[in-house]
Structure 1
Amino acid sequence: METSKEQASKDYADFEKKVKRTIYIDHLSPQVKESAIKAALAQCANVVHVEFIVNYTIPYKDIASAALVELDDDVQAKAAVELMNDFPFIIGGMPRPVKAIHAKAEMFRDRPPCPGLRKGFCWVKQGDKDYEAMQKLKNLAKRQESENMALIQKILKDEKELATRQQEVLDGNCKKYDMLETLVQKGDITNLAQQYGVNLND
């Protein structure tokens, strides 16, 4: 019978295998869904699970800025990273500035405790030797939060403009197909083909 220590080691070994077959994707559009990621990676990998990482520091809900994508194995993970870094990530016919890297254990919220690793913490107060360094980190985090907010607002604006352009293209294509269908139904397409010497049977 396995002891709790042996089970913990086994669980962490299984987790490490999961990490190796998982990739991290960032700079995702807020409009991206799991189906879009599966479709984009279908030519080189089978997506097992997608976990979107939401930035809770901004006042917008359901905006996924990154995702952990678990694949069948580490070979597929390597191929997916190479594909996404060598070729544009296409969503709705438009390329996205998406980047992909191999996942790391620290990226997972549900990671099991590492066997033999003990964690400690302490409160830092003014006058302690590490207080000044911690204060600098705190100020840096605030600045990064402001920069992140500005970036998110720009992304949302760009997304809205892109959606408008894509809708205009879609509407234009629909009108063209409707026009062609009308010509075919009325028989005008045959007259046009004869006039320009086009064989419709080719």
Structure 2
Amino acid sequence: MATPEEVEYEKFLERVRRTVYIDELTPLATYPVIEAAFNQFGTVKSVSFIPNFLGPKELPIGVLVEMETEEMAKDVTATVTQLPFMVAGMPRPVRATPSHPHMFVDRPKKPGRKIRFRWINPNDPDFDKAKKMKRLVRKHTAETSFMLKKQLEEADKLSKQQAETAITHHKKFEMCDKLLHDGVAQKLADCYNIKSYPYR
């Protein structure tokens, strides 16, 4: 007979299995944008943003997207990484992976799990190991912050390139539209004896 804690944890694991972790999202990706994008794969039950604790708010963020079923979550994972994520009409690369229990802030305590800790004095044999671990954590934090900063610079560069491309295409469209409306295209077609169709 399962205990109430075991039942609660099993329900939590079911939620984990139908949730997808989306990485490298631009801060421009709001709740409505994400919900609308992933509703194409099924029904989105919830969207939870994971704050970036290692750097400024403008750094790329992660998000947990809970789908209605596990199958929908698998479809998202299989498809999203292969296609760009559209934000404000611009494609942005993202990564989609299955979620893990440690990603959830509201995760319940795992039945039977115990956490033990103790204070270590300078004369303790494990004191040097603890100091090395502390230095390693600081090093990893600095490396992660540097990588996130580089990632933000690349995302900003991509955004500027996409904006310039959009402006260029818009100018070309305006020029073509003007040529058709002013009758220049028809005159050129007549000059070179090219059959043309009326602009609609």
- TM bucket (normalised to shorter chain) is 0.7 to 0.9
**Aligned partner (choices 139, 143, 149) of residue 139 of structure 2:** 143
**Aligned partner (choices 178, 189, 198) of residue 196 of structure 2:** 198
Say yes or no: does 1:118 pair with 2:127.
Answer: no
Q: How far apart, in 1, do the equivalents of 2:75 and 2:28 lie?
A: 25
State the AA in 2 paired with 1:27.
Answer: E
Say yes or no: does 1:75 pair with 2:47.
Answer: no
Q: How far apart, in 1, do the equivalents of 2:139 and 2:198 lie?
A: 64
Say yes or no: does 1:130 pair with 2:130.
Answer: no
Aligned equivalent of 1:24: 21
Contact 1:54-1:63 at 8 Å conserved across structures: no
Contact 1:54-1:62 at 8 Å conserved across structures: no
Which stretch shows the higher mean deviation, 27-36 or 154-163? Answer: 27-36
Say yes or no: does 1:158 pair with 2:163.
Answer: no
What CA deviation, in whole Å up to 9, does each residue of 1:41-97 have, x standing for no partner?
A: 454343322222222122x12534322111111111122222234x1433454452x
**Aligned partner (choices 49, 53, 56) of residue 56 of structure 1:** 53
- Could you tell me which runs of 5 or more consecutive residues in structure 2 were left unpaired when the two chains were aligned: none
CA 1:123–1:188: 2 relative to 1, 3 Å = same
CA 1:35–1:193: 2 relative to 1, 3 Å = farther
Contact 1:45-1:80 at 8 Å conserved across structures: no
After TM superposition, list the pairs within 5 Å mapping 1:97-108 onto structure 2.
Answer: 98-108=94-104
What CA deviation, in whole Å up to 9, does each residue of 1:149-190 have, x standing for no partner?
A: 221221222222222211211111221222233234334344
TM-score scaled to structure 2, two decimals? 0.79
Shift of 1:110: 0.7
Which stretch shows the higher mean deviation, 73-82 or 48-57? Answer: 48-57
| Aligned residue pairs, count | 194
Query: Between the two proteins, what is the percent identity of the paired residues?
Result: 28
SS at 1:27's partner residue? Answer: strand
Shift of 1:108: 0.5
**Aligned partner (choices 77, 81, 89) of residue 84 of structure 2:** 89
CA 1:99–1:133: 2 relative to 1, 3 Å = farther
Q: How far apart, in 1, do the equivalents of 2:127 and 2:33 lie?
A: 46
SS at 1:52's partner residue? Answer: strand
